[in-house]
């Protein structure tokens, strides 16, 4: 797909991968429609895009709220007329044991990460189909491939994104619209800082441990992740892994479909070493 002059919608555009995507897509000549719950961060991303002579409209939206997502689609289509690419990127994390987490926290994660992606896909789909050639990107995670303790809510949302997107792709065959599911490994962003922590698991002591571990285990920049996602859109790839860690875990869970849990637990037991000089 040639991206020049195309209209691209990016959710979660106030920070991290979403912001980097906005900037790189603007450099590639796209017109951006940026959505996020963080209005200040959204305006900052739009300013950064204006400074490089790009065009971005901003649309405050809580992707965890169905009505807001449909209103978001209406507002984007009202502003741009056309939409060629939708990137469902907004996401949050929760660190909590299944036995201890509140339903409300689990629902918070599923509403934003999973239902937000479902509602945006369905809200934009008629417009995407009407353009003749369009693409959808759904951002899952390496935790959409491997389960890990204290991340059951996040795991559930990210595994579900994979199933939804693989089904979607087959249903869209011949429609001119295709979809990519993206599995990033650790990417250096604000995801851990923005997450909720409700754990007495003993695996990590507090939120600062989660943030420190994420920083130590994030080997890929948001810019690199954005570039890889753009390539996936251009080539209309069905499945993309980002970072050597994502490739590694993809292989480990294929070769050891249940044994990977032992390997992960072994790695988790090394966390104190990683946190020593946090
Ligand atoms: N950073 C990583 O290591 C990593 C790894 C795998 C997958 N991912 C996924 O990448 C995506 C982007 O995350 P990131 O790493 O850039 O994190 P980030 O926290 O830097 O950015 C996430 C963005 O989503 C927005 N957001 C959160 N709740 C929202 C809501 N209710 N409505 C609208 N927007 C909302 C935030 O305001 C923020 O701007 C997420 O889906 C995340 O799960 C990240």
The per-residue pLDDT for 70 is: 98
Please work out whether the CB of residue 161 comes within 6 Å of at least one atom of ligand 1.
no
Please work out whether the CB of residue 54 comes within 6 Å of at least one atom of ligand 1.
no
In angstroms, the CA 142 to CA 175 distance is: 29
* Rounded alpha-carbon distances, angstroms, from residue 99 to 18, 102, 148, 152, 173: 32, 9, 14, 10, 41
Mutate to test the pocket of ligand 1, among 10, 11, 13, 16 (most ligand atoms within 8 A of CB): 16
Mean pLDDT lowest for which of 127-131, 140-144, 195-199? Answer: 195-199
In the chain, % of residues over pLDDT 70: 100
CA of 8 to the centre of ligand 1 (A): 17
Higher pLDDT pick, 157 / 270? 157
Atom of ligand 1 nearest to the CA of 188: 1
The per-residue pLDDT for 232 is: 98
* Side-chain half-sphere CA neighbours of 265 within 13 A: 5
* The model scores a pTM over 0.95: yes
Check pLDDT > 90 for residue 275: no
Please work out whether the CB of residue 14 comes within 6 Å of at least one atom of ligand 1.
yes
Protein residue closest via CA to atom 29 of ligand 1? 37
Rounded to an integer, the average pLDDT of 148-157 is 97
72, 115, 143, 154: the catalytic one is 154
Check pLDDT > 80 for residue 202: no
The per-residue pLDDT for 166 is: 98
Q: Is 154 among the residues known to form the active site?
A: yes
Check pLDDT > 90 for residue 273: no
Protein residue closest via CA to atom 7 of ligand 1? 141
Check pLDDT > 80 for residue 278: no
Mutate to test the pocket of ligand 1, among 17, 182, 250 (most ligand atoms within 8 A of CB): 17
Homologous superfamily of domain range 7-275: NAD(P)-binding Rossmann-like Domain (3.40.50.720)
The per-residue pLDDT for 196 is: 96
Average pLDDT, the chain: 96
Torsions phi, psi for 58 (to 5 deg)? -115, 140
Question: Per residue in 162-175, pLDDT tens?
Answer: 999 999 999 999 99
Segment holding 125, helix H or strand E: helix 116-130
**Given pLDDT bands bounded at 50, 70 and 90, which one contains residue 88?**
very high
Rounded to an integer, the average pLDDT of 15-40 is 98
- Domain extent listing, the chain: 7-275
In angstroms, the CA 67 to CA 64 distance is: 9
CA of 167 to the centre of ligand 1 (A): 23
The per-residue pLDDT for 267 is: 87
> β-strand 239-242 against 177-184: which pairing, if any?
parallel
Please work out whether the CB of residue 181 comes within 6 Å of at least one atom of ligand 1.
no
């Amino acid at each position: 797909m040639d991206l020049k002059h195309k209209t691209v919608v990016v959710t979660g555009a106030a920070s991290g991968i979403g912001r980097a995507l906005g900037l790189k897509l603007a450099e590639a000549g796209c017109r951006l429609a940026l959505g996020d719950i963080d209005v200040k961060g959204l305006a900052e991303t739009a300013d950064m895009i204006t400074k490089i002579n790009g065009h971005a409209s901003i649309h405050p939206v809580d992707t965890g709220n169905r009505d807001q997502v449909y209103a978001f689609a209406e507002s984007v289509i009202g502003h741009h007329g056309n939409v060629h690419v939708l990137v469902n990127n907004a996401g949050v994390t929760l660190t909590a044991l299944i036995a201890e987490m509140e339903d409300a926290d689990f629902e918070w994660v599923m509403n934003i990460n999973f239902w937000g992606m479902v509602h945006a896909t369905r809200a934009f789909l008629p417009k995407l189909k009407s353009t003749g050639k369009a693409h959808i990107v759904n951002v899952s995670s390496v935790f959409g491939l491997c389960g890990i303790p204290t991340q059951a809510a996040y795991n559930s949302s990210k595994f579900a994104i994979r199933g939804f997107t693989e089904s979607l792709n087959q249903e869209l065959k011949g429609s001119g619209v295709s979809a990519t599911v993206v599995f990033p490994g650790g990417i250096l962003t604000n995801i851990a800082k923005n997450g909720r922590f409700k754990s007495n698991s003993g695996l990590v002591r507090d939120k600062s441990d989660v943030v420190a571990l994420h920083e130590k285990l994030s080997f890929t920049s948001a810019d690199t992740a954005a570039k890889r996602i753009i390539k996936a859109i251009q080539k209309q790839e069905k499945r993309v892994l980002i970072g050597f860690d994502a490739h590694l875990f993809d292989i480990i869970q294929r070769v050891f479909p249940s044994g990977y849990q032992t390997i992960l637990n072994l790695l988790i037991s090394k966390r104190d070493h990683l946190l020593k000089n946090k």
